[in-house]
Amino acid sequence: MSRTRRAAPSPGSAITSSPWILVAVGVVVMVVLLVVALGSVRGRRAFPAQGPTDPAMSLPVLPVVPATTPVATGGAPGTAARPVAPGLSPRSTVLPARPTPAASTGGPRGDVRPAPSAPPPAAPAPPSAVTGRYGVVSTFDGGFIGEVLLVNAGRSAQGWTVRLTFPRGRLVTAWVEGAEQGPFGFDGRVFTYRSGVDLAAGASVPVRFHFERTGTTRPDACTVDGATCAGF
């Protein structure tokens, strides 16, 4: 009986028949490369060492002068402070008002003219010399006749205006006894009578009026040229 000798398997065929061996070898190679790379990075310096410098080529170092501009407090870091105007706080943004010139210059030689002064206030009007006294001439059912006796105590003739105020009512008519008539009117509350001719100095004249449905013979107000009448 003859014996047949089997051929021994080659190393390459064993590796080819087992793929996991190739994977393991690749992983080992990658780990080795990673370790080598990390070691080279750690061995390097962040910045190259500065070699010896030539004293002749080095520049002189100037002293640093501190800035004289005040730094504003409370601002964002790294921002430069703005220049501060005279007379203002560092946070103020309003400029001081310019002084008003007291005088203006004029003329070819630059003569100084005084500033114009404000005009004096107007003097109040003197009180009227014509005064009045209110009275009732007669009354009847639903109405009455009243009068304002005017007296000019001045030294010259003067016009006049009579005003009466009632809460309500109706004006029937009005007139001046013994003198030229003047314009009059009634708007439902205020009765107005203006002189047709000036009243002579020292003279007197009655202004009479007929009212109805006023509810009273006493007006709420009676004036002659703005002054309150007497007698009511």
| Tens of pLDDT, residues 107-142 | 556 566 666 677 777 666 567 899 999 999 999 998
Q: CA-to-CA distance for 138 and 76, rounded, in angstroms?
A: 92
Considering the chain, what is the average pLDDT of its residues?
Answer: 76
pLDDT at position 7: 52
Query: Collapsing DSSP states into helix, strand and coil, what is residue 134?
Result: strand
Per-residue pLDDT reduced to its tens digit, 205-224: 999 999 999 999 999 999 99
Q: CA-to-CA distance for 48 and 8, rounded, in angstroms?
A: 59
Between the alpha carbon of residue 85 and those of residues 96, 181, 195, the distances in Å are: 9, 76, 70
pTM for the model: 0.48
DSSP secondary structure of 150-216:
EEE-SSS-B--EEEEE-SS-EEEEEEETTS----EEE-SSEEEEE-SSPBPTT-EEEEEEEEES-S-
97 pLDDT higher than 60: yes
Q: CA-to-CA distance for 135 and 230, rounded, in angstroms?
A: 9
Per-residue pLDDT reduced to its tens digit, 68-88: 544 444 444 444 455 555 554
Q: Which two tokens stand for residue 38?
A: 């990390």
pLDDT at position 65: 53
- Buried b / exposed e over 93-106, threshold 16 CB at 10 Å, is eeeeeeeeeeeeee
Do the Cβ atoms of 150 and 177 come closer than 8 Å?
no
